[in-house]
Amino acid sequence: MIHLGLFVAILLIQSCSLDSVKPQQYYPIENYKLNLFQGDILSKWNFIGENRKSMSRQLVRKAFDLLEDEIKSGNANSKSKKKSSTVSENTIKKQKMLNSKEKKNKKFKKMKSPIDKLNLFQGDILLGNGTFDMDRFAVPHKSLRWPDGTVPYILDDIYSDSEKELIRSAMDEFEKQTCIKWVERTDEDSYVEIFNDVGCYSDIGRTSGRRSLSLESPICMSKGTIMHELMHALGFLHEHSRADRDDYVDVVWDNIVDGRQSNFEKYRPSAIDTMGLDYDYRSVMHYEPYMYAADRNHPTLKPSDHQVPLNQLGHGQAEGVFTDLDIEKIKTFYEC
């Protein structure tokens, strides 16, 4: 077994070079912090070391911040603390100082909008400068539709060619199966700007002017994640928050990460139109079962019907495919 001190030394040396490397894995929508932190302190530290080259610089810094906070708060169990005694606060502080020096040397831009400071509802719905008004987001409202299902968009040039191809591939799923068309913006007043900010989030539907849609690289670069955010841009909310969801799924409130309970709140019956469609466990707009789980060995959402497999929750998002009900929902709302 490699001595932890040697591993830390190797990790610190590796951190001196954060050259761009094509990521080998991506992190699911809205849950990137939790996917970094599974198990005890030592396993979390090892995860960062093993995956830092496939993580954005912002995410690496956020990871060290979260790990340091956990050590300080004493949330780790005694076994974890014993195993990770050599992974001290001082070690993490040194790593953060090294990241800071690297940032200065490479003239990294200061992160202006960390995900936790954004005004987001349910993790990825951008509210702008206002507060959440359920009636304002009584989706689907026809006023939020894009005329003729045509959505002008701008795609940030910062994305690599392969990332642009992936984003357009997600758009193609809409065009192949529905009447939605994504077109590059010319001079349209209302449009969606897709950019590389911190996190995965989107405005809801069309209003006058620019609409924001963030796809941070690499954590948001999965087809299902992109399709999910594009659905928000079209005017759709989360399936698991339907007013009737308690008839279909059980929320394990005690296992939700503190501060994320609002992500599982239900919409009022008057606030959302289900268009008479059945509840869709597999929808690209449904959370996966372990979303925001404090204990990753146990889910936060479980089907009420025990004959429905747990892995069916959010299957469409996980696999990057629309369900039949997703397609029917789009066609019904956009009358195509």
> Which two tokens mark 213?
């849609």
Q: What is the 3-state secondary structure (H, E, C) of 255-268?
A: HECCCCHHHHCCCC
Residue 228 counted as an annotated binding residue: yes
Read off the amino acid at residue 302: K
- Asked if 229 is an active-site residue, the reply is yes
**CB of 40 within 8 A of CB of 79?**
yes
Q: Under 8 Å CB-to-CB from 246, ≥6 apart: which residues? A: 266, 304
- Which residue is catalytic, options 229, 288, 319, 335? 229
Name which of 71, 68, 125, 130 is nearest 99 in CA terms: 68
User: Is residue 238 marked as binding?
Assistant: yes
Concatenating the DSSP letter of every residue in 115-183 gives GGGS-EETTTEE-TTS---TTTT-SSPGGGSPGGGEEEEEE-TTS-HHHHHHHHHHHHHHHHHSS-EEE
- The DSSP element (H or E) to which 205 belongs, if any, is none
Report DSSP state, residue 247: G
User: Are the CB atoms for 320 and 227 separated by under 8 Å?
Assistant: yes
Query: What phi-psi label fits residue 104: left (phi over 0), alpha (psi between -120 and 50 degrees) or beta?
Result: alpha
Non-local CB neighbours of 37 within 8 Å, separated by 6+ positions = 44, 47, 66, 67, 70
Q: Counting runs of H as helices and runs of E as strands, what totals does the chain give?
A: 10, 9
Annotated binding site for Zn(2+): 228, 232, 238
- Catalytic residues, by residue number, are 229
Annotated binding site: 228, 232, 238
